[in-house]
Structure 1
Amino acid sequence: MSKSLLEQLPEIVAKGRQQAEKILESIEGRHRVQLQTREIVLPAKDAVAQDWITRQHRQAQRDAAFSPTQSALIDPVQPGLNAAPEAPWTNRLIYGDNLLAMAALLAGDEHTPSLRGKVDLIYIDPPFDSKADYRTKVTLPGVELEQKPTVIEQFAYSDTWSDGTASYLAMITPRLILMRELMSDSGSIYVHLDWHVGHYVKIVMDEVFGKDNFVNEIAWKRSHAHGDSGQGASHFGRVTEGIYFYSLSGSHYWDAPYEPYTEEILTRDYKYTDPTSGERFRLMPVDGPGGAAKGNPYYEFLGVLGYWRYSLETMQKLYENGEIVLSSTGRSLSRKKFLKDAKGTPITDFWNDVNRISPTSSERLDYPTQKPEALLDRIIRASCPKNGLVADFNGGSGTTAAVAEKLGRRWITSDLGKPACMIMRKRLIDQDAQPFLYQAIGDYQVEAAKASLGRDFRIGDLSQIVLSLYGALPLPPEDNPTRNLGQVTAGGSKTLVLADSPNKLTGAATLKKAIAQRDTLLGGWDKVVVLGWNFEPSIGETITALNDSRLEVLVIPPDLMDRLKKKGGLEKLRGSVRFSSLQYLTIWPVERKASTVRAEPVEATASPSTGSGRTDETLTVRLRNYVLLSPEAINLDEANRAKLQAIANAEPLALIEYWAVDPNYDGRVFRSVWQDYRGNTANDGDPLRVVTQAVLTVPANPGPRQVCVRVVDVFGFEAEVVATVAAA
């Protein structure tokens, strides 16, 4: 007989602890998980009409990319929360599994110290409905596609619910433990759930954080009263969700929230008016309840003998200020509490004043689990000090980061879904956020392989698996010392197959080596196929320049190891893995023109050599074409795939969701100082297309300039092109 969920709980928690302990042990070693910065985003969305303040903000963002101190955005020594206010900190948006993201944050690296014990507030809103439909609707000009979750999202989600609530608890337990490690001594955590799993998660949180550190179970009334009996339901209308609030210790930060008094309270309680000031007030007791047992002083004041809340000295001062009132009977005293000094009614654990997002709200992003900003505003104000650090490891639509940004708090957010990360990136750019990092898990494939094959696996083992799934037989060891070469023989044709390392960027050097091996190894081959995990930004240009019809470059599915682990073995995956072609971007030649001298005010602290102006130059960047990777690699049914192919053929640039420009690319980190994206109507009236031209004014550079352009398509795939532009 199978165990009940209650009987399984101790084992679930124990295994979760073991998993978390292994992660905590691994971050002390040399091969720890790290974050890779994919983009430094300096928000400056393209717009036609801008007021003076916006222009100044955009110019300041761009100037920051060229200032001598801009390296602090790339290689910052991030401070602890006790560091000086001027110490650099850059907010971050992380794409990837939050378990690995937290491991990387706990580990730190040479640029960013560990964030263990540094996070003031964590809010998470994990998925809690096992029957939810997370398909994405993609609206393109003249057509709407319905995309199922990506394979990596599907497997993460199916793993979460494979055994119902038990597997959900197995997923969340080690994550809660790592969150505890990140929290500061005065930190708090809010976990947003509903009736599906909330009561079980509370038991786990009691184990992880301690029952004594439970603070509140908040009931948020997310919708108006309704019943579901019309749809055949036989239960009361479900209108609330639960938010479980725990602290790390009994000394958590707390700034109690209040709501304004209702007219009823004002009329009932603040019914007196001070004849001198005209201020409204109410009368509050000054007697000390509990008497001597509570340590209240005993004395006579204005002829009334008793125990009081205040010392005689304090009572005398209040009286001199006109705040102590003797009753008409002469038997009791009261204190005036003025309305102007009142904060309002304290907020309780039942929140019925925060409305869900209406269909017409300016907040609405059409993200299925989006929460209203007012909800996060209340939580952040109450539990995170100004300049404190807020984290949300189920970022979703980005409400936590957006509100933290507005309230002057630092933030970290992450999500496993590329669509969610794009929504967050656009949302933060839209609100002119401070510069932030867009990061991904470093060597994600290696970490996934370790999870599937064991921590001691070798890269050669992974190459052998990739070759096998492609259908290639390994070459003899004497011709294949690194174990990454295979062969496919069919119809008298011989194809050499090279599986590149996940630790490398596949680029020109790898392709040239593969061509040389094709032509010389074992007497030569008809064709060579290169299978890569990660690619140099200029890979498309490299393939075009090589112009070799006997060379093919394919992408190894980034979720391959997740699939291997979930499917239960190599044999079950054979024949079902698609190695897709690369997507790539082309642009027209970048135009570069010198501009006139831009006058600037000279600050009093400026050196004599600073001058009163600066020479700028103008760059014009135009998109030319975007070639999507094989539509077969996208999780669409046949009808939707046909629609996609039609758009890709007729208007390929309509597939671009977001594009950005780094006019001074250093070859290491992409700094976007100009962005446009679908839905940005500040520059045109078309919400379904991006503009195809960017005009940037940047500080003049006497030599050649490297301009990098990056696009992200509607499915989350990225492509880049780097152009070297001669001096103007």
Structure 2
Amino acid sequence: MNESIKKSKDVTVAKAKGRPMLTWVGKKPLSRVRSYPAQAIERFDATGGQPVALQEADWSDWPKDLPKGGLLYHGDNKDVLAHLLANGFRGKVKLIYIDPPFDSGADYVRKVQLRGAKGTVKIDGEDYTLGEQVQYSDIWANDNYLQFMYERLLMLKMLLAPDGAIYLHCDPSRNSYLRLVLDEVFGADSFVNEIIWQRLSAHNDSGRFGIIHDTIYYYGAPDRVWNPQRTELRETYLEQFFDQTEEGTGRRYARSDLTARGLRKGETGKSWRGIQPAEKGNHWKVGVSQLEQWEVEGRIHWPKSEGGMPRLKRYMDEAIEQGGTAQDIWSDIKPIHNQSQELLGYPTQKPEALIDRVISASSNPGDIVFDCFLGSGTTAVSAQRLGRRWIGCDINKGAIQTTAKRIQDLMKTQAADACVPQQGDLIGIAQTCQKPSQLGFATYRVNDYDLQIQHNEVVELACQHLGVTRTRTDSFFEGTQGGRLVKIVPFNHPLTPLDLEAVRNELKTRPTEERDVMVVCLGWQHDARAWVETYNRNRPVNKLHVVELRTDRKLGGIIKHEPLTAQVNAERMGDGASAKLVVEVQDVVSPTIMQRLNLEQGVFRAQITDWRAVVDCILIDPQYDGQVFNVALADVPERKQDLVNGRYEMPAQPAGSTVAVKIIDMLGEEVIVTKAID
């Protein structure tokens, strides 16, 4: 099996044909996008090689180069979408749920806490002022944000199955814009619902009514999957409508109309017990034989006044058991609170009950569910628990690690044949023990970049460092510096001739532009240097000046990082059948965590007496091949105050094997230490 798809290829993106069309500065249709390779970096299998009953799913059209299981991608979702389209997933995804950044100016910095006893110091997980990754960088100008979403929605449409559906979660800050973009991309006739999720009961907003809801837009094909969802009936509803008491039984009931407008022939148009609804231009909702059956069962309410119409008794106890049909206002799902077991420190984390309802309504077991703004991984967790196949991606490394831990724990429980209840099962009607479609997943990295930082927030940092004056109305250049235009190349890959061609093509569209261009990048390919030299030769205007942020003598040095380090010992002990592999982590040093603690504690230097306080989890692959990390042992403490063990015993491996120990600290930074076993 190929561990990576090595060839890059272009993916053609279809034009949006819907109306109306929203216009913004710099709007460009996405006609072609480059597909980058995907490198397998980690595998997990909860079965241990043992047969386990799984949900029946059609894997016949699954790409042959990919394992049959969950897929977790680390990379810019535009790159991941292009990769999926180019490698067999076009038109295969039944349900898409996305919860993109809202461009609302909100603080999306994840909060983390060092392990240990209560009271351990909390620190920011990511802080863009330090030039490191953030959960979601909400600093885009409105035009850039709309272009960002437009491009991704165009590609998501191509992934969606002909009978598929997409849910887009947003807040009031940009929902009107996004509705128009969705209309343009998917077509206004594909609009199904505007769902209002009341996530708070009250909110103090100065000078305005409190904002207590989010909006979820639901678009889908006419023949999309639809499974009606049940909700718990509220006490106020029961008191208001179930206002009758049946004599003899004492059962409370509501009265329901038995007729509907319009004349009909056949059973529903007949006279029953001397009553002819046609006289009033109506017909019975059911045939007269069914009415007679209900009368025998005592389910017909007869009014005391003469000439009144009979009604159907709807008993309150039955209504409570059945629940109500979910409407487009969801007020029965509460947000994740500070004491919730689901809480993972992500400010934008959504409750599992919310995602459960979306997945249950618009997909069936075995279908593919996709989320390209995965965050803390709730979509993947819900899909796994509900027996769906799933694909997820995120640009943030911490999000990938958090998701992987949650899925590993869930799959272990499912492999043990334990019941995993549905979080949204409020009234006991959900299928709580759905068989999983898979009990393993693989993690891939798309575009093969190793500097895990988010482009948009680092652009801000680079502009501050270089003294760039931002030009928000220019869709191509980030701004100007010293009379030169500034183009910042995406930091998820080194500078290539393709990037430089894009600059030249943009300049061709501006024939009166005579300024030189500063090209800012992180690393550059050898052929890019030759390209710049050739381009600049004998050119009086529009010369290119490349600034590599790590090595440039005058302007470099902006990206500095001291990596996580660890001391690990691994040795084979004993002989024969009793031989075992003993792995012991002796020390872990996280310079980044120490830097954060020192910044927050001011003049007092931070001290960590137990290295385990900085470690989030430890993973071990006893037969590491140097490419894909196969998780054979995962030490992931259940509670924040618990510590990793640090010492592990496993079955001995053959002499010459390489054991690899992956250590992930509380900020998501990781290090792999390998040891050869004699």
TM-score category, normalised to shorter length: 0.5 to 0.7
- 1:145, 1:227 → 2: CA distance? 27
The aligned amino acid for 2:569 is W
- Does the aligned pair in 2 maintain the 1:404–1:411 contact within 8 Å? yes
- Does the aligned pair in 2 maintain the 1:148–1:636 contact within 8 Å? no
Do residues 576 (structure 1) and 550 (structure 2) align? no
- In structure 2, the partner of 1:96 is 75
- 2:667, 2:233 → 1: CA distance? 48
Matches within 5 A, 1:470-489: none
The aligned amino acid for 2:546 is L
Q: TM-score, normalization: structure 2?
A: 0.67
- 2:194, 2:527 → 1: CA distance? 60
Greater shift, 319-328 or 297-306, is seen at 319-328
- Does the aligned pair in 1 maintain the 2:26–2:143 contact within 8 Å? no
Do residues 172 (structure 1) and 149 (structure 2) align? yes
- Does the aligned pair in 1 maintain the 2:109–2:136 contact within 8 Å? no
Do residues 204 (structure 1) and 214 (structure 2) align? no
Instruction: Please point out which of 375, 382, 389 is paired with 1:396.
Output: 375
Do residues 664 (structure 1) and 643 (structure 2) align? no
- 1:273, 1:374 → 2: CA distance? 36
- In structure 2, the partner of 1:62 is 48
- In structure 2, the partner of 1:623 is 585
Unaligned runs of at least 5 residues, structure 1: 1-6, 27-31, 44-60, 70-75, 109-113, 458-464, 475-479, 485-567, 597-615
The aligned amino acid for 1:725 is I
CA separation of 1:287 and 1:709: change in aligned 2, threshold 3 A: same
- 1:482, 1:172 → 2: CA distance? 30
Matches within 5 A, 1:184-195: 184-195=161-172
CA separation of 1:167 and 1:186: change in aligned 2, threshold 3 A: same
The aligned amino acid for 2:500 is L
- 2:501, 2:605 → 1: CA distance? 40
- In structure 2, the partner of 1:411 is 390
Instruction: Please point out which of 155, 158, 168 is paired with 1:181.
Output: 158
- In structure 2, the partner of 1:240 is 213
Write out per-residue CA displacement over residues 628-649 of structure 1, whole angstroms, 9 at most, x where no aligned residue. Answer: 6x869x996984699999769x
CA separation of 1:289 and 1:723: change in aligned 2, threshold 3 A: same
CA separation of 1:244 and 1:653: change in aligned 2, threshold 3 A: same
Structure with the largest fraction of helix? 1
Query: Cα offset for 1:131?
Result: 2.6
Q: Secondary structure at the match of 2:358?
A: helix
- In structure 2, the partner of 1:300 is 271
- In structure 2, the partner of 1:37 is 40
Instruction: Please point out which of 591, 595, 598 is paired with 2:572.
Output: 591
The aligned amino acid for 1:300 is S
- In structure 2, the partner of 1:437 is 442
Query: Cα offset for 1:432?
Result: 4.0
Query: Cα offset for 1:330?
Result: 7.8
Query: Cα offset for 1:244?
Result: 1.4
Q: Secondary structure at the match of 2:158?
A: helix
Query: Cα offset for 1:129?
Result: 3.9
Determine what percentage of the aligned residue pairs are the same residue: 29
Instruction: Please point out which of 346, 354, 374 is paired with 2:333.
Output: 354
- In structure 2, the partner of 1:501 is none
Unaligned runs of at least 5 residues, structure 2: 1-19, 278-282, 413-438, 450-491, 505-517, 531-543
- 1:138, 1:321 → 2: CA distance? 61
- In structure 1, the partner of 2:92 is 118
Q: Secondary structure at the match of 1:710?
A: strand
Do residues 690 (structure 1) and 638 (structure 2) align? no
- 1:666, 1:77 → 2: CA distance? 31
The aligned amino acid for 2:285 is R
Instruction: Please point out which of 496, 500, 507 is paired with 1:453.
Output: 500
Query: Cα offset for 1:92?
Result: 2.1
- Does the aligned pair in 1 maintain the 2:108–2:137 contact within 8 Å? no
- 1:468, 1:347 → 2: CA distance? 50
Matches within 5 A, 1:412-427: 412-427=391-406
Matches within 5 A, 1:134-283: 134-140=108-114, 145-146=123-124, 147-149=126-128, 151=131, 153=133, 157=137, 161=140, 164-228=141-205, 233-247=206-220, 249-266=221-238, 268-269=241-242, 271=244, 273=246, 282-283=254-255
- 1:482, 1:576 → 2: CA distance? 18
- In structure 1, the partner of 2:258 is 286
- Does the aligned pair in 1 maintain the 2:257–2:312 contact within 8 Å? yes
CA separation of 1:208 and 1:625: change in aligned 2, threshold 3 A: same
Q: Secondary structure at the match of 2:660?
A: strand
Over the aligned positions, Cα root-mean-square deviation in angstroms equals 4.5
Write out per-residue CA displacement over residues 661-717 of structure 1, whole angstroms, 9 at most, x where no aligned residue. Answer: 11233444211021124x544xxx954x43221223x4x766654322222334434
- Does the aligned pair in 2 maintain the 1:143–1:643 contact within 8 Å? no
Write out per-residue CA displacement over residues 236-271 of structure 1, whole angstroms, 9 at most, x where no aligned residue. Answer: 112222111111x12222222222233454454374
- 2:662, 2:411 → 1: CA distance? 20
- In structure 2, the partner of 1:520 is none
Q: Secondary structure at the match of 2:408?
A: helix
- Does the aligned pair in 2 maintain the 1:274–1:281 contact within 8 Å? no
CA separation of 1:151 and 1:309: change in aligned 2, threshold 3 A: same
Query: Cα offset for 1:156?
Result: 8.5
CA separation of 1:624 and 1:265: change in aligned 2, threshold 3 A: closer
Q: Secondary structure at the match of 1:394?
A: coil
- 1:35, 1:641 → 2: CA distance? 41
Query: Cα offset for 1:195?
Result: 1.9
- 1:209, 1:595 → 2: CA distance? 64
